[in-house]
Amino acid sequence: MNLRLAAALCVALSLCALLAVPANFPALGGDARLTLAVFALATCAWIGTPIDDTYIALGAGLALTATGVISSDTLFGTLGDDTVWLLICAFVLAAAVARTGLAGRAAAFLVGGARSVRQLVHLTTAALVVTAFAVPATSGRAALALPVFLALAKALADRKRLVVMLALLFPTVILLSAVATLIGAGAHLITVSVLWESTGDRIGFTQWLLLGLPLAVTSSHLAAETVLLTTTRRADRKGPVRITAEEIQRHSESPVTGPWTQAEKRCAALLATVVTLWCSEPLHHVSPAVVALIGAVVASSPALGTVRLKDALKTVPWSLLLFMAATMAMGVALADSGAAKWLVSGLPSRVAPAVFLGIVVVVSTAAHLVLQSRSARSSVLVPLVIAAALGAGVNPVAAALASTAAAGFCHTLPASAKPVTLFSDIPGTPTYTPRDLLRLSAVLAPLTAALVLFFAAAVWPLLGVPVTR
């Protein structure tokens, strides 16, 4: 048994033993004790064991249902949540986009215009930010972007430092730009669901876009400059660059230049229509999940589609959806049993809102060192942040968004996030080392935390999300 597993097991069993004694914590009811015990065991298992995160979450949800803390309708009903359907349909749409090769055309168009290293970095960053609207989840975007990186690495093979810089740039921007859209990460959907269950506040696709896109663009380009300056020297940045469409074509199965095919035109029109309808939800009042379902049906239709439905459904991360559903049920249990309120009852209630948000941002930024799953971090943190915010007089929407945005930083170790792992080991291509990640994190972690805090305190209030209730 390794040290981390032993420590996690000791902590979990100690907490359960304390909760089992009725004389301890007299303010806690029976359901709250059971919820905290299950929550502690699940969290320690996520931290200290190699067991699949989804298996742990399902076990926790089942335990809460079997003990009567939540009903079976609550557990199974989370699978029918709008946000789950939104993610399923978004993956079907992403499969249609990937099948047509539109991503390769976009990469050739954007990156091919770069004439200097800095232009290449920021055009690549802009392209990666845009993919947040077409491909849900960071791991899917990383897989889509990998061929583009390989093409750039081949074209810059004689400039090793630039290749290493680009290897670090891709996962960094993919992770930080996910906050641009509601479908950017499963953690966002968990946050929206927990907010709705706990406070009745609903964040729609349009509102998330309004709040998240400016932060995503700013943090991504700030991170791009940071990666450029910490990974390369001035001499590396001086020489010109020239990336041709032919070099990108070698790593793409579909044409990246020339006339568009009918499938590409249909898919581009469909994607543009879906994104426009998502963004204009306040005008037509059609749920983003319904819009996504319509788009998925059209994208997989025999006459107009570009992918068969059964092939598209194979790309859906069903494990992630089950994980989301189970952790949503855990969040309901924490709120309804009073466990979350009790956990934060000992915190000082007279804390300045800016100080409260600062603590939330710092804890959420550092949480990836303990919980590697982004969704697990939100499952653990967001219910507690919301309960603490209500007690401190802080707007729970602002606090939850700040926590979720800050938790998007997970660059310290190769195992901290799937995109970081994917780009850390590419056979035949030079890439970054753990030391490169640590050097970047030492600069980028405080920068991104400060940026999130600035948006939560100064920008989001201008966009309708005040700091206080």
| pLDDT of the residue at 1 | 47
* Burial of 52: CB neighbours in 10 Å, binned 0-12, 13-18, 19+: exposed
SS3 assignment, position 408: coil
pLDDT in tens, 50-64: 788 888 889 988 998
Mean pLDDT for the stretch of residues 109-133 = 82
pLDDT in tens, 354-367: 888 988 999 888 88
Upper half-sphere CA count for residue 286 (Cβ side, 13 Å): 15
Nearest of 93, 24, 142, 56 to residue 373 by alpha carbon: 56
**More confidently predicted of 69 and 251:** 69
| DSSP-assigned states of every residue in 99-162 | HHTHHHHHHHHHHTT--SHHHHHHHHHHHHHHGGGTS-SHHHHHHHHHHHHHHHHHHTTT-HHH
Predicted TM-score (pTM) above 0.85: no
SS3 assignment, position 463: helix
Q: How is residue 414 written in tokens?
A: 């190769």
Burial string for 202-216 (b: 16+ CB within 10 Å, else e) reads ebbbbbbbebbbbbb
| pLDDT of the residue at 8 | 65
pLDDT in tens, 379-411: 888 888 888 888 788 899 999 999 999 988 888
Q: At what angle do helices 160-176 and 434-454 cross, to 10 degrees?
A: 40
141 neighbors 216 (Cβ within 8 angstroms): no
Give 35's strand partners. Answer: none
Residue 70, Ramachandran bin (φ over 0: left; ψ between -120 and 50: alpha; else beta)? beta
Of 212-216, 242-246, 302-306, give the lowest mean pLDDT range. Answer: 242-246
pLDDT in tens, 187-221: 888 888 888 888 878 888 888 999 999 999 999 99
Of 26-40, 156-170, 241-255, give the lowest mean pLDDT range. Answer: 241-255
Token pair 């919820």 in the structure block, residue: 35
